[in-house]
């Protein structure tokens, strides 16, 4: 079996992640922050250690501003729903995942003023078009760091400059880049960084978070849910201190333990090394696909993208290609719209979508050779 669906979730996970989760359940299974006994304290220590690992990963200083969520979708909803009000102006791009578009469209129905800047067919964002859209008084600019459909990497630092010149906050969806591309949140000018644990960070599903920057006014930032936090229990009002303000209810502590192990593994392996490997297999994949008659490859040049490659076989349904890859060749990929209809409209593949091939750190060049030969056979046999 060859797994090429790392853009959906990375697999396999490092053994350290599995061991950390098993150890947590066996030795630290208490409820963090809710009790004073040894298991609760042990669990709380693991959760806080993971918070500190996130600060190391993204080069931020305050672990209390790392808010754990169930996934990047919840983190994005927290930022959008907690900071935006009717009448606010928000600018986003036509590459966004539905984790951004759906909450924005819902807020638009309540009076939010939304502008979507059109990207090119290769996913590139024209900065002058963005500058024209981000007028003074814009409340927020929301962008993906890299497309989950064609891998295009957006120029975050330049986008941040445009946003800040207009007085806007910058919210970045790093679902496809955290753990694969170095992210220095303060240096890039990111005010709100939403991340997921189960992709490039090699952690389990059900983990993610939002890292809050210095420009964000916490006092005017509403939580997504309210409830028990283990702190200030004498009050019936939500505490204002971080991270408690945004972390109601028992956390996914065993998942956070696995996330911590995943981040530790990524940091020890080195993001530069991981990125270099993924670039190598991505370039081999694209080169092979471009040599197959009847295969169309979408996206920018390889140096401007992550290891997320979208293609189609002419005159074939993407679902049929995906089924043949799985059934006849043991190659697992994802076909369709990838929860990003706006991106597919941008690249001209809506409504059917594409075949998405997403290699990862454990994908070898031999795997890529098998994939290219399989697609060549499918294309030739169809002709």
CA distance 224 to 375: 45
Chain centroid to Cα 163, Å, comes to 21
Give the Cα separation of 359 and 345 in Å (integer): 24
CB 307 within 8 A of CB 175: no
Owner of token pair 């056979």: 377
C-alpha span between 95 and 185 (Å, rounded): 21
Tokens of 301: 């040049």
356 touches 334 (CB < 8 A) = yes
What's the rounded Cα separation, in Å, for the pair 180 and 194? 15
154 in helix, strand or coil? coil
Q: Which residues contact 228 (CB under 8 A, 6 or more apart)?
A: 34, 248, 249
**Is 333 part of the annotated catalytic residue set?**
no
> CB–CB of 343/382 below 8 Å?
no
Rg (CA), the chain: 21
**How many other C-beta atoms can be found within 10 angstroms of the C-beta atom of residue 343?**
31
Q: Which residues are catalytic?
A: 339
């Amino acid at each position: 079996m060859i797994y090429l669906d790392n853009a959906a979730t990375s697999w396999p996970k490092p053994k350290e992640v599995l061991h950390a989760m098993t150890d947590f359940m066996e030795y630290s299974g208490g409820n963090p922050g809710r009790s004073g006994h040894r298991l609760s304290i042990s669990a709380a220590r693991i959760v806080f250690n993971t918070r500190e690992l996130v600060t190391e990963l993204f080069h931020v200083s305050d672990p209390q501003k790392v808010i754990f969520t169930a996934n990047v979708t919840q983190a994005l909803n927290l930022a959008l729903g907690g900071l935006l009000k009717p009448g606010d102006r928000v600018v986003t791009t036509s590459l966004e995942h539905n984790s951004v578009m759906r909450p924005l469209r819902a807020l638009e129905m309540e009076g939010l003023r939304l502008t979507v800047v059109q990207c090119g067919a290769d996913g590139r964002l024209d900065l002058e078009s963005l500058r024209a859209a981000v007028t003074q008084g814009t409340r927020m600019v929301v962008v993906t760091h890299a497309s989950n459909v064609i891998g295009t990497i957006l120029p975050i630092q330049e986008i941040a400059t445009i946003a800040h010149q207009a007085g806007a906050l910058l919210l970045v969806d790093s679902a496809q880049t955290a753990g694969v591309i170095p992210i220095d949140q303060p240096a890039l000018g990111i005010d709100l960084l939403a991340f997921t644990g189960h992709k490039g960070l090699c952690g389990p599903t059900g983990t993610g978070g939002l890292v809050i920057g210095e420009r964000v006014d916490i006092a005017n930032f509403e939580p997504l849910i309210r409830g028990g936090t283990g702190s200030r229990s004498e009050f019936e009002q939500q505490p204002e201190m971080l991270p408690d303000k945004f972390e109601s209810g028992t956390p996914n502590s065993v998942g956070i333990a696995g996330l911590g192990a995943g981040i530790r593994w990524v940091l020890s392996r080195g993001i530069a090394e991981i990125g270099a490997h993924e670039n190598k297999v991505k370039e081999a994949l694209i080169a092979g696909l471009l040599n197959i008659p009847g295969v169309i490859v979408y996206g920018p040049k390889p140096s401007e993208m992550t290891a997320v490659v979208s293609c189609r076989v002419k005159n074939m349904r993407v679902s049929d290609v995906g089924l043949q890859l799985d059934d006849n060749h043991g190659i697992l990929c994802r076909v369709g719209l990838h929860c990003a209809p706006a991106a597919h409209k941008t690249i001209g593949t809506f409504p059917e979508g594409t075949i998405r091939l997403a290699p990862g750190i454990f994908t070898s060049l031999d795997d890529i050779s098998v994939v290219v030969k399989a697609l060549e056979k499918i294309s030739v046999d169809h002709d």
